[in-house]
Amino acid sequence: MHPALSVIFLTTLIGAGQGFFLALYTGQVYSLGNLLPAQSSLTFYAYGSLIALALLAGGLLASFFHLGHPERAWRAASQWRTSWLSREVIILPLFMGLVLVYGALHYFGLTRPVFRLGQAVVVDLSLLVGGLASAAAFLLYLSTAMIYASLRFLQEWYSPLTVANYTLLGLASGFTLAAAFCAWSGSELVLFYTSEALLLTLIAFLVRGLSLLRNRRIRHKSTLQTAIGVRHTRIEQKAQGAMGGSFNTREFFHGRSRAAMRTLKYLFLVLVFGLPLLLLGAGLAVDSLWLPAAAFLIQYAGLLLERFYFFADSRHPQNLYYQYIS
Amino acid sequence: MTQLALVIDLNVCVGCHACVTSCKEWNTSGWAGPLSDLRPYDADPSGTFFNRVQTFEVGEFPNTETVHFPKSCLHCEDPPCVPVCPTGASYKREEDGIVLVDYDKCIGCKYCSWACPYGARELDERQRVMKKCTLCVDRIAEPTLPPEERRPACVLACPTSARLFGDIHDPNSEVSVAIREQGGYQLMPEWGTNPANHYLPRRKTRIRIHEDELLRADNPLHKEELPELPEGAETLDDVAW
Amino acid sequence: MRTPNTHSDRDLGRVEVKETTCYMCACRCGIRVTLRDGQVRHIEGNPQHPVNRGVICAKGSSGIMKQYSPARLTKPLLRKRGALRGDADFEEIGWEQAFELLQQRLAGIRAEDPKRFALFTGRDQMQALTGLFAKQFGTPNYAAHGGFCSVNMAAGLIYTIGGSFWEFGGPDLERSKLFIMIGTAEDHHSNPMKVALSHFKRAGGRFISINPIRTGYSAIADEWVPIRPGTDGALLLALVHEIIKQGLYDRDFLIRYTNAAELVNLDPDSTEQGMFVRFEVPKEEGCFDPQNKLWWDRDLNKPISCHTEGVDPYLLGEFKLHDGTPVKPAFQLLHERVQDYTPEWAEAITGIPAATIRRLAHEMGVTARDQRIELPIQWTDAWDNEHASVVGNPVAFHAMRGVAAHSNGFHTIRSLGILMSLLGTIDRPGGFRHKAPFPRPIPPCPKPPKGPQDVRPNSVLEGSPLGWPAEPDDLFVDEAGEPLRIDKAFSWEYPLSVHGLMHNVITNAWRGDPYPLDTLLLFMANMAWNSSMNTQKVRRMLTDRDASGEYKIPFLVVCDAFDSETVAFADLVLPDTSYLERHDVMSMLDRPISEFEGPVDSVRIPVLPPSGDCKPFQDVLIELGTRLGLPAFVREDGSRKFRDYPDFIINYETSPGSGIGFLAGWRGKIGEKFLKGEPNPRQWEMYRKNHCVYQYELPRSYQYMRNWNKGYLLWARAHGMVRYAEPVTIHLYSEPLQKFRLAARGKWDGKQPPERLRQRVETYFDPLPFFSEPLEDRLTDIHSYPLHALTQRPMAMYHSWDSQNAWLRQIHSHNFLFVNPKVGAAQGFADGDWIWIESRTSRVRCMCRFSEAVEPGTVWTWNAIGKAAGAWGLSPKADESQKGFLLNHLIDEELPPCESGEHLSNSDPVTGQAAWFDLRVKVYRTDEGEPRQSSPQFKPQPPVPGMPRRRKRWLRYFAGRKAKP
Ligand SMILES: Nc1nc2c(c(=O)[nH]1)N[C@H]1C(S)=C(S)[C@@H](COP(=O)(O)OP(=O)(O)OC[C@H]3O[C@@H](n4cnc5c(=O)[nH]c(N)nc54)[C@H](O)[C@@H]3O)O[C@H]1N2
Ligand SMILES: Nc1nc2c(c(=O)[nH]1)N[C@H]1C(S)=C(S)[C@@H](COP(=O)(O)OP(=O)(O)OC[C@H]3O[C@@H](n4cnc5c(=O)[nH]c(N)nc54)[C@H](O)[C@@H]3O)O[C@H]1N2
Ligand code: SF4
Ligand code: SF4
Ligand code: SF4
Ligand code: SF4
Ligand code: SF4
Ligand SMILES: [Mo]
């Protein structure tokens, strides 16, 4: 497939946004159980939500660039019964709305307890909204990933690993960002988020690695033989009927060499996993403003490559029909 | 239920591209049009076409087959492109099984094209909506046309009549008979899309000559055997008594 | 959304449907043009038309993009004063100025030496009018594309069976069982061939294709027989060998309808050596074969006049006449000729296994003999024998330029004609069938001028510019036997060049050999590009000047509809209308669209007004003819005879009161007559009402065996199709060729070849077919240039003229050189690489593509896809010029100097047919760092006045004024 920048930005930005929000909310939940110290509503949760929203809005904005007719985007909400894309389209704004409410509650300090669970657990509105938002975040991971994972004949994508990857990579980048956010806002949760980020990055590495291994072994079900229905071991396309190219050659081919793709793979492995792990590890040892921030920036840049690779690495069966010009 | 479809006979398709440009011509000024062309007079010209004819070579010299292979939307009975569409712009018509795009609803997200394993959809890059073969909906039911012309443009154009059109759910239709009797098959059956369009395979006619057909009673060479005329040899005519 | 069910396509504007004839190619299908608000909505095949019966091809369906192409010429243009020829620097002028200029110049030439005006036309369809103009002007220097196209096919078969493939006849695939197609990619018979092939295959017919390449039609063949280019003669002669050896020929057919049994004089001392023995000495008048030859009667064992009733002559044997003259039946000579042409011999030459050749011969012979068709059609032959039925041997052939465009093509095609005759398949069901006005006498009657005396100032030319020599005295040569036409046609160099040699006109005129020209008018011919050989050199010659600074070809007039490469070289450009904007006729005087069942002709009627200041070339010719006072176009008093072309078509008669004109249908005062009759003022209207065609169906008993069908022959004479109702005997053995040979041997009373050509004429005017390697092979170092290079027509493009078509060019925006992977492996380049292809003339850089569908000794590309930068309304960066290439640069228009001359055309020595496919090449890798761009490149051609200045980035064609709702 030819990776579209808009989709790369959309999925990475909202993935990080979701992860970051989930990090915030984890903080709130943990603090509820006194596992972590409580944070300031304003500087931590409200500003944090703003950052999450900014990421999400960035993603949303990017997504509009993908559309031929953004002015009709609202129509995309209509097919939630069958279309994962439609579901994403519904959940993304819903999630953003919830994050907005969540941030607003914190911003305006509307954190009076609504009810208590036993002695310790004070449930306020933000906790409820945050809970809903967290559920939405996970649903959003699911629908984003399922857009790809539901396409049967894109065998590289058609796997639970795709959902796991989208979720884990989003979470990892979100938590890394949370570490950076804490470092900058002077919150004592740096260590917590750093170690969580380390852990998530590590798991994400394992799962992404697994999907790389899986994809290397894929035997494509469609072949030239099934594509044109001729049984012969040697078939070659000679003409695809359009010498100047067509939508089908532009949309489904990345045009990079195998070597470039291999380089890209190693590069993103280093950027998404290797370097951030090192930097985050160092962050555990040294108190630094920059280490977690650098980890996030590098990881995010890596994610852009990872997403590029994700799209480019999948071989669409339609390509069998569009191989040769002559 | 009706399922309209094309059945393409590879046995006679000579790869002339008539179906390609007649489709473009009909549709650019029709319901689906205009169909845009990018850089029409420049490097790498490209444009929206609903039907392409491709060429494949099978085997090695001298046992090579050249296969011309026309392909448009196959109007799958279980079209994966439809449920994924977030706007409902892509739909399959109940009444005749044609898969269509509502250009007024389409947001141009291209997702349906990803969901089509056959590469049958093409974005109109100027209008920025997804387009594809409509089975010439605006012809096949056009009341002002004489009934025999209510068929897709490509079908009417095809000089070898390699393109049959009809209802594959009607067992007595021309297309069903052709599929049944000539081994009609579907593309990429592995995905369960159940394409309505079918293809008919190449067939070979051979002649076998038997030895005895060459040893002929009517061999005209027999007629050319000259009588032996011994020159000057004596005959009884020369004897006098 | 507008659902397609609630609105009708036709609600979008005012709809009109008009009928006319397509001219996206030479096939001439009937089309229906739907207009919406005056713009073309849709062009579809006309179901009522006999040629295409409703179907249409890729080109025909793209007519819209031709009509509205940005390459359209819309203004008469004159090269700017001081501008260099070739730079395409023009000023717009008015038509009046153009006519005055032409009239002045041409009147001067005509008063002095009419042959200094030359008119050559490319892939046009109005040779009856252009030829008439040339003759009236008095110049012999006229020809159409035939010489560089497929004259071998026309001449080879017409001199053998009195008709030919091309537009003159074809295979009866409706009834055939076995069909062999040789060297055909996409013929003039484009749609009908496709229709027929598909019916044939579906009916269970067996289809064999003989071609070095397997694409297009060959793709659906049941068997592909890859052959080395230029060797079909060997294959066909080996088939003849095997058919005779196995006795699989149709003996009865040969005796009755061919000259197989006729006795040939073999007395080496006689001036009649190699001629048929005749029983009547008085020289026959007229162009027909008198039935005065001899057979050898098996019962009486002595000669007897041919066609004597009840006689069964010998086909084989050798005999002596009373006077001791040794004679043999022609068939015996053929038998001897093919004796050594064994399948094993042919295998070594053609690359086809001997077993395959044998099997093919057996398939043909056994099918012909055992699947005989008998139609209950009663007919009478020319000798008054009644036949209760028409029989057919259902083996059909079709061949085109793959055999024609080689320098040995004439004899290859004669061999094919003979093979078809041996099988007994001429004008019979399931075999080859003629189309009116064929069959014609062998050779047909018109003759070229006979000498310098036939070209005189201010006079009509004696003879016709193109004709059919029957003997040396019909040649158009001077006292010394040297050429008199600018293209040297009808000279001893190419005696039977019945279609001229357009491919040598520019070279000869440039060299002033045999003389310089003053004005060259090119109509519908892209001579600065794809219809010339050695294109680079031709482009230089067009701009070359003599010592005084005058161009060597002083005045070049180009009539074209588009900004072709040739337009850039014009001094005067005449913008033609498009085919949708003009009247045209597909005339019986030219090449009509006849069907097997009878004569058919057709017309074009404008469906749109002319664009800009375009003017139909027909009108231009009639206007010029009138202004010049050419007798056919003016009355006695010199006043204008015809208002315009439509008026001319209605009222012109070949001679006053002949009743024969351009159109055959609805003649007579009220349209009650056909073929012959007085002019009918409402003729156009009657054509329009009848889908633009006139179709006549012969009575069934006249539809077959027309060479010998008394009823048909009398009918044909009565309707002015032939001059003599005499049978047309098939020439297995060709006496006309023998006459030229006798001249070469000094045994002819009349014209004699110059010494240098004696041997050449002696060799190639063999009355029996023989195999010889192509001239190019003999005269070049084939070890250095081991590969054959060919072109093929793509079905979706017409020569050079469709690159301006936005839709078609998306299918073929550039071309590759197709090579067998073995060639790439040997040369060390990979699929898709840039490579050089080099001939003895020049080299071209191009991209290669590996293909298993090509014989390993052959490389090929699509014809005329590559373009010069900037031509055809395309951007100078367009694929056509940057990635595409033209093979013509590699083909020399002349042979290397040899014993027969310094400047012989690279053509068949019999007919002057351009030997495009004799080309020998080598291929090799490009060097690192060479540009990835085709070579040679030319200075980009700028757009001319009247063309749009800016190229659109987007094209969104939608017919009708109303914007789409
Ligand atoms: N290498 C190679 N070269 C070949 C051949 C080959 O097989 N291989 N084939 C040869 C053969 S068979 C032929 S017939 C020639 C064909 O060669 P040409 O006859 O030269 O054919 P084109 O180049 O298509 O067209 C000639 C011109 O006609 C113009 N034209 C198109 N429509 C109209 C019209 O309506 N009016 C006027 N006035 N002009 C119009 C076009 O713009 C173009 O400039 O090429 C020959 N050249
Ligand atoms: N679409 C389209 N149709 C056209 C034209 C066009 O430009 N485009 N041009 C028209 C014109 S002007 C003409 S003359 C006709 C020509 O019609 P064709 O004669 O079909 O023309 P070519 O494309 O030259 O095809 C020549 C074929 O002969 C094969 N060949 C070459 N050398 C040999 C050989 O030695 N032996 C054998 N057996 N085969 C050989 C080539 O592989 C090729 O397939 O087409 C007409 N129809
Ligand atoms: S061929 Fe593709 S576009 Fe057409 S119905 Fe099937 S999946 Fe959809
Ligand atoms: S491109 Fe249009 S038709 Fe396709 S999925 Fe998107 S909205 Fe639906
Ligand atoms: S059915 Fe109509 S839209 Fe579909 S390919 Fe044929 S012409 Fe085009
Ligand atoms: S029009 Fe018919 S013969 Fe031509 S490419 Fe299309 S299907 Fe094949
Ligand atoms: S075959 Fe030639 S004449 Fe017929 S439709 Fe095609 S382009 Fe027109
Ligand atoms: Mo031609």
CA contacts within 13 A on the Cβ side of C822 = 12
Q: What is the pLDDT of residue C123?
A: 86
**Is residue C817 pLDDT above 80, yes or no?**
yes
Chain C neighbors of B47, CB-CB under 8 A: 806-807, 810, 955
Q: What is the mean pLDDT of residues C887-895?
A: 97
Mutate to test the pocket of ligand 3, among B75, B85, B98, B133 (most ligand atoms within 8 A of CB): B75
SS3 C191: helix
Q: Tell me the residues of chain B between 176 and 235 that have a Cβ less than 8 Å away from chain A.
A: 185-191, 199, 201
What distance in angstroms lies between residue C123's CA and the mean position of ligand 8's atoms?
6
B46 has a chain C CB within 8 A of its CB: yes
In C354-461, where does DSSP find H-type helix? 354-370, 401-404, 409-422
SS3 B152: coil
Q: Which of B20, B37, B206 sits opposite C811 (nearest CB)?
A: B20
Q: C811 vs A243: CB contact, 8 Å cut-off? A: yes
Q: pLDDT below 50 — which residues of chain B?
A: none
Chain segment C504-513, per-residue pLDDT in tens: 999 999 999 9
Distance CA C634, CA C640 (A): 5
Å between B86 CA and nearest CA of chain A: 4
Å between B53 CA and nearest CA of chain C: 9
Q: Which of B8, B12, B14 to mutate to test the interface with C (most CBs of C within 10 A)?
A: B14
For residue B101, which atom of ligand 4 is closest to its CA?
A: 3
CA-only gyration radius of chain C, Å: 27
Chain A neighbors of C853, CB-CB under 8 A: 238
DSSP state of C905: B
**Is residue C1 pLDDT above 60, yes or no?**
no
Distance CA B117, CA B192 (A): 11
Q: Tell me the residues of chain C between 589 and 618 that have a Cβ less than 8 Å away from chain B.
A: none
Q: Which of A246, A310, A311 to mutate to test the interface with B (most CBs of B within 10 A)?
A: A246
A238 has a chain C CB within 8 A of its CB: yes
> Tokens 């057909």 appear where?
B213
Q: What is the pLDDT of residue C281?
A: 60
pLDDT in tens, chain A (326 residues): 999 999 999 999 999 999 999 999 999 999 888 888 888 888 899 999 999 999 999 999 999 999 999 999 999 999 999 999 999 999 999 999 999 999 999 999 888 888 877 777 788 899 999 999 999 999 999 999 999 999 999 999 999 999 999 999 999 999 999 999 999 888 889 999 999 999 999 999 999 999 999 999 999 999 999 999 999 999 999 999 999 999 999 999 999 999 999 999 999 999 999 999 999 999 888 888 899 999 999 999 999 999 999 999 999 999 999 999 88
What distance in angstroms lies between residue C156's CA and the mean position of ligand 8's atoms?
16
Q: A244 vs C812: CB contact, 8 Å cut-off? A: no
Q: Which of B82, B109, B185 sits opposite A85 (nearest CB)?
A: B109
Q: C363 vs B62: CB contact, 8 Å cut-off? A: no
3-state SS record for C942-954: CCCCCCCCCCCCE
Q: Which of B16, B41, B142 sits opposite C873 (nearest CB)?
A: B41
Q: What is the fold, at CATH topology level, of the domain defined by A5-320?
A: Formate dehydrogenase/DMSO reductase fold (1.20.1630)
- pLDDT > 90: percent of chain C: 95
Decide if B17 contacts C60 (C-beta within 8 A).
no
Decide if B134 contacts B124 (C-beta within 8 A).
no
Residue B80 CB–ligand 3 contact under 6 Å: yes
DSSP C367-381: HHHHS-EEE---EEB
Residue B28 CB–ligand 4 contact under 6 Å: no
Residue B51 CB–ligand 5 contact under 6 Å: yes
The neighbouring-strand residues paired with A115 are A123
Q: B66 vs C853: CB contact, 8 Å cut-off? A: yes
Closest CA to B193 of C957, A152, C334: A152
Decide if B185 contacts B198 (C-beta within 8 A).
yes
**Is residue C27 pLDDT above 60, yes or no?**
yes
Longest dimension (CA), chain B: 122
Q: What is the mean pLDDT of residues C839-847?
A: 97
C854 has a chain B CB within 8 A of its CB: yes
Quick count: other Cβ atoms within 10 Å of Cβ C606? 18
Decide if C676 contacts C719 (C-beta within 8 A).
yes
Mutate to test the pocket of ligand 3, among B73, B100, B197 (most ligand atoms within 8 A of CB): B73
DSSP C87-98: S--EEE--HHHH
Chain segment C303-347, per-residue pLDDT in tens: 999 999 999 999 999 999 999 999 999 999 999 999 999 999 999
Q: What is the pLDDT of residue B218?
A: 87
Q: What is the pLDDT of residue C743?
A: 97
For residue B72, which atom of ligand 5 is closest to its CA?
A: 5
The alpha carbon of residue B229 and the mean position of all alpha carbons in its chain are separated, in whole angstroms, by 66
For residue C190, which atom of ligand 7 is closest to its CA?
A: 1
What distance in angstroms lies between residue B68's CA and the mean position of ligand 6's atoms?
8
Distance CA C22, CA C603 (A): 10
Q: C956 vs B29: CB contact, 8 Å cut-off? A: no
Q: C4 vs B141: CB contact, 8 Å cut-off? A: yes
**Is residue C2 pLDDT above 60, yes or no?**
no
Which residues have CB under 8 Å from C728's CB, separation 6+? C161, C162, C288, C289, C439, C440, C441, C442, C707, C708
Q: What is the pLDDT of residue A73?
A: 93
A228 has a chain C CB within 8 A of its CB: no
Distance CA C418, CA C410 (A): 12
What are the backbone dihedrals phi and psi of residue C66, each rounded to the nearest 5 degrees, phi first?
-80, -45
A236 has a chain C CB within 8 A of its CB: yes
Chain B neighbors of C873, CB-CB under 8 A: 41
Residue C190 CB–ligand 7 contact under 6 Å: yes
Q: What is the pLDDT of residue B234?
A: 67
The neighbouring-strand residues paired with C521 are C119, C557
What distance in angstroms lies between residue A20's CA and the mean position of ligand 2's atoms?
68
B126 has a chain A CB within 8 A of its CB: no
Chain A neighbors of B117, CB-CB under 8 A: 153, 222, 316-318
Residue C146 CB–ligand 2 contact under 6 Å: no
What distance in angstroms lies between residue A318's CA and the mean position of ligand 6's atoms?
21
Q: Which of C814, C954, C958, C964 to mutate to test the interface with B (most CBs of B within 10 A)?
A: C954
Q: What is the mean pLDDT of residues C291-308?
A: 93
Closest CA to C139 of C444, C384, C381, C464: C464
Which residues have CB under 8 Å from C97's CB, separation 6+? C76, C78
Report the sign of the C-alpha dihedral through residues C98, C103, C108, C109, in that order.
Answer: positive
Query: From atom 2 of ligand 4, which residue's Cα is the shortest distance away?
Result: B106
What distance in angstroms lies between residue B198's CA and the mean position of ligand 5's atoms?
14
**Is residue C880 pLDDT above 90, yes or no?**
yes
For residue C66, which atom of ligand 1 is closest to its CA?
A: 32
Q: What is the pLDDT of residue A303?
A: 97
Q: What is the mean pLDDT of residues C54-71?
A: 97
Closest CA to C239 of C422, C424, C431, C433: C422
Closest CA to B139 of B51, B36, B32, B47: B32
E strands in C682-763: 693-695
Q: What is the mean pLDDT of residues C835-841?
A: 97
What tokens does C877 get?
């960066």
Decide if C487 contacts C511 (C-beta within 8 A).
no
